[in-house]
């Protein structure tokens, strides 16, 4: 990059760290830190929701699918999420706002007790590890500096931990406003230049196979079904629940999610086209490197720095949000109810910050373990859906006395089957470079069957349903509450609103 590009990138990082430091001086309670005292407006919610969900996993993962397979990524990989967000906005968010709670495991605990809360907290922790965004930073530093992927991951993790420790959700939301603008502007400029070089969609149609423009692509139908089922993770998405509890009111949240769906659809479409353009222009790199390599080759000085700052913004907007959730999962949702119910507000806040460091290190470890951004996403979403979807939605909607064993059976059954499936696939399967996934091939009756990693949710989710049914049938103790107004667990010092 040119010197001016480095200056632009450095100024951005310095500004973000400065905002985090300024807001950190106003944090006086755990609720301030974790959900901004429930006072977030529609404008702040738009920026933080859109930028949090659209990190480098989408930028690089979406372009990776576009590079390998074309528009199928937009039609089957992302569109189901828009439908799930609309369902969450209309049917789940209003019901959640009746509860004075602050996290996804809080809901599970309110209906099924601390055992289910603990399992959902563990699943939420693994799902929320921002390893996809950290993988993206490793890719970026590899392309820019030739820094080995491992060292890029460690450097990106260190900066993100420092920033997250300071300001909590309010700092996250304020900086997301800057990050949101950079994300949209820089990607739009890059797409305009790159698509001009390739001759637009007409030019790509001349250079790419016909299958790249077919909505179903060449994927097996079962895999496309899995893409749709995986979108159910939105209905129990920890970051969405955190924003719902942080929203000033339901109307503000509804506006934010409606605007978000429109922006997400446009962003996804551009990212998909950029991946396809990289393939059409003959960019010969690992698929996850395609978008960043192509863009840096095409942008002039100044715009390159702005784009890199936008990529860094995309990563940080996701990393800080999810590290915060991970820290809360370990300290507030897991350690406090199981081991220290009398933990004070100040102690909870301090422990959450320490657990953010633990979450950052775990993210770095998994970032260098997975070879594909899409593979990592499949594992994380399967774990969350399999363990949290059934107990949380049952608690919110079933008008019957719920047994503690039902929630525990659903969460443990789904999580256990998911982990066994991925362990077997890891040991017995192999990477398939053609499809960009991991496949376990077995021969039954002389016929070879392919078990894709994406099939995990189709096995684990029914196991969760079976666990719930068995627990409800044979359990004896009813869960702690069936009320519509559930208070948050009391902490020992009074809250101070921002």
Per-residue pLDDT tens for 125-175? 999 998 878 887 887 778 777 788 888 888 888 877 887 776 666 666 666
Residue 305's pLDDT is 78
Query: In the chain, how many domains are there?
Result: 1
Task: Note the pLDDT tens digit of each residue in 186-214.
Answer: 778 888 888 888 888 999 999 999 999 99
Confidence of residue 497 (pLDDT cuts 50, 70, 90): very low
Q: Which residue has the higher pLDDT, 172 or 429?
A: 429
Question: Residue 84: is its pLDDT beyond 60?
Answer: yes
Strand ranges across the sheet with 447-452: 430-432, 437-444, 447-452
What is the rounded CA–CA span in Å between residue 59 and residue 450?
Answer: 29
pLDDT at 172: 67
The neighbour count for residue 491, using CB atoms within 10 Å, is 20
pLDDT over 90 (residue 469): yes
Q: Report the alpha-carbon distance of residue 389 to residue 418 in Å, rounded.
A: 13
Residue 404 lies in a domain: no
Run of H or E residues at 290? helix 290-298
Question: For residues 391 and 221, which has the higher predicted lDDT (pLDDT)?
Answer: 391
Evaluate if residue 273 carries a pLDDT over 80: yes
pLDDT at 449: 85
- The DSSP line for 108-142 is HHHHH-HHHHHHHHHHHHHHH--HHHHHHHHHHHH
**If we measure between CA atoms, which residue out of 496, 35, 23 comes closest to residue 243?**
35
Q: What is the CA radius of gyration of the chain?
A: 22
Residue 412 banded pLDDT, cuts 50, 70, 90: very high
Residue 167 domain boundaries: 3-373
Quote the CA–CA distance of 187 and 470 in Å, as a whole number. 50
Establish if 364 belongs to a structural domain: yes
Region 311-340: mean pLDDT is: 85
Residue tagged 């936008």 (tokens): 310
For residue 489, being part of any structural domain is answered with no
Residue 6, pLDDT score:
76
Residue with tokens 């109810």: 337
In a domain, 354, yes or no: yes
Q: How far apart are alpha carbons 366 and 363 in whole angstroms?
A: 5
| Res 385: pLDDT | 92
Say what the pLDDT of residue 26 is. 62
Q: Return the percentage of the chain with pLDDT > 70, whole number.
A: 85
Over residues 274-302, the pLDDT tens digits come to 999 999 988 888 887 788 888 888 878 87
Q: Indicate the pairing of strand 437-444 with strand 447-452.
A: antiparallel
Model pLDDT for residues 340-372, shown as the tens digit of each residue:
888 888 888 889 889 999 999 998 888 887 766
Q: Phi and psi (nearest 5°) for 85? A: -65, -40
334 pLDDT higher than 80: yes
Among 431, 83, 65, residue whose Cα is nearest residue 219: 65
CATH code of the domain in which 285 resides: 1.20.1730.10
- pLDDT of residue 496 exceeding 60, the answer is no
Query: Are the C-beta atoms of residues 275 and 65 closer than 8 Å to each other?
Result: yes
Query: Which is more confidently placed, 479 or 46?
Result: 46
* pLDDT value at 417 more than 90: yes
Give the per-residue pLDDT at 217.
Answer: 82
Q: What is the pLDDT of residue 407?
A: 94
Q: Band the pLDDT of 57: cuts 50, 70, 90.
A: low
- What integer pLDDT is reported at residue 213 of this predicted model? 92
Distance, in Å, from the CA atom of 40 to the CA atom of 249, rounded to the nearest integer, reads 8
For the stretch 168-206, what's the b/e string if a residue is b when 16 or more beta carbons lie within 10 angstroms of its beta carbon?
bbbbbbbbbbbbbebbbebbebbbeebbeebeeeebbee
Q: What is the pLDDT of residue 437?
A: 77
Question: Quick check: is 394 in a domain?
Answer: no
The confidence score (pLDDT) of residue 485 equals 52
What is the pLDDT averaged over residues 101-109? 90
pLDDT score at 54: 66
Mean pLDDT, range 65-89, rounded to an integer: 87
Average pLDDT over residues 67-75: 88
Does the structure show a pLDDT above 50 at 493?
A: no
What letter does residue 433 receive in the DSSP assignment? T
User: What is the average per-residue pLDDT within 243-258?
Assistant: 87
Residue 100 lies in a domain: yes
Give the pLDDT mean for 319-334: 89
User: What is the longest distance spanned by two Cα atoms in the chain?
Assistant: 68
Judge whether residue 58 has pLDDT over 60.
yes
Instruction: Please say if the pLDDT value at position 462 is more than 70.
Output: yes
Nearest CA among 11, 235, 214, 272 for reference residue 107: 235
488 lies in some domain:
no
Percent of the chain with pLDDT over 90: 23
pLDDT above 70: residue 267? yes
| Predicted confidence (pLDDT) at residue 441 exceeds the cutoff of 90 | no
> Is residue 131 in some structural domain?
yes
């Amino acid at each position: 990059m040119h010197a001016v590009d480095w200056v632009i990138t450095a100024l951005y990082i310095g500004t973000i760290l400065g905002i985090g430091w300024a807001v950190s001086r106003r944090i006086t309670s755990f609720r301030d830190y974790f959900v901004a005292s429930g006072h977030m407006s529609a404008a702040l919610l738009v920026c933080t929701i859109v930028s949090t969900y659209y990190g480098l996993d989408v930028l690089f993962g979406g372009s990776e699918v576009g590079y390998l397979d074309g528009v199928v990524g937009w039609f089957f990989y992302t569109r189901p999420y828009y439908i799930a967000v609309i369902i969450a906005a209309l049917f789940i968010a209003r019901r959640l706002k009746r509860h004075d709670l602050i996290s996804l495991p809080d809901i599970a605990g309110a209906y099924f007790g601390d055992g289910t809360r603990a399992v959902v907290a563990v699943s939420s922790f693994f799902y929320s590890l921002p390893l996809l965004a950290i993988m993206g930073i490793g890719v970026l530093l590899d392309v820019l500096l030739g820094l080995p992927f491992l060292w890029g991951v460690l450097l990106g993790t260190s900066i993100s931990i420092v920033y997250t420790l300071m300001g909590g959700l309010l700092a996250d939301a304020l900086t997301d406003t800057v990050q949101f603008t950079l994300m949209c502007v820089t990607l739009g400029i890059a797409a305009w230049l790159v698509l001009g070089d390739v001759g637009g969609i007409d030019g790509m149609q001349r250079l790419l196979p016909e299958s790249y423009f077919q909505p179903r692509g060449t994927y097996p139908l079962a895999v496309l079904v899995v893409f749709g089922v995986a979108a159910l993770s939105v209905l129990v998405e920890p970051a969405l629940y955190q924003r719902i509890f942080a929203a000033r009111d339901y109307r503000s949240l509804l506006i934010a999610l409606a605007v978000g769906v429109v922006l997400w659809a446009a962003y996804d479409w551009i990212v998909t086209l950029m991946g396809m353009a990289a393939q059409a222009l003959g960019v010969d790199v690992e698929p996850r490197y395609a978008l960043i390599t192509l863009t840096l080759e095409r942008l002039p000085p100044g715009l390159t720095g702005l784009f890199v700052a936008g990529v860094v913004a995309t990563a940080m907007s996701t990393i800080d949000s999810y590290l915060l959730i991970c820290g809360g999962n370990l300290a507030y949702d897991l350690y406090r109810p199981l081991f220290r119910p009398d933990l004070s507000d100040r102690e909870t806040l301090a422990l959450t910050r320490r657990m953010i460091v633990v979450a950052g290190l775990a993210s770095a470890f998994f970032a260098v373990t997975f070879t594909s951004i899409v593979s990592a996403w499949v594992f994380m979403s399967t774990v969350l859906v399999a363990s949290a979807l059934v107990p949380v939605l049952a608690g919110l909607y079933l008008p019957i006395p719920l047994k503690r064993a039902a929630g525990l059976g659903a969460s443990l059954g789904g999580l256990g089957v998911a982990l066994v499936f991925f362990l077997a696939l890891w040991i017995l399967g192999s990477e398939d470079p053609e499809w960009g996934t991991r496949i376990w091939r077995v021969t039954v009756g002389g016929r070879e069957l392919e078990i894709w990693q994406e099939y995990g949710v189709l096995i684990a989710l029914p196991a969760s349903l079976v666990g719930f049914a068995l627990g409800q049938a044979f359990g004896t103790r009813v869960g702690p509450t069936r009320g519509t107004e559930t208070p948050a667990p009391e902490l020992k010092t009074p809250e101070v609103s921002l």
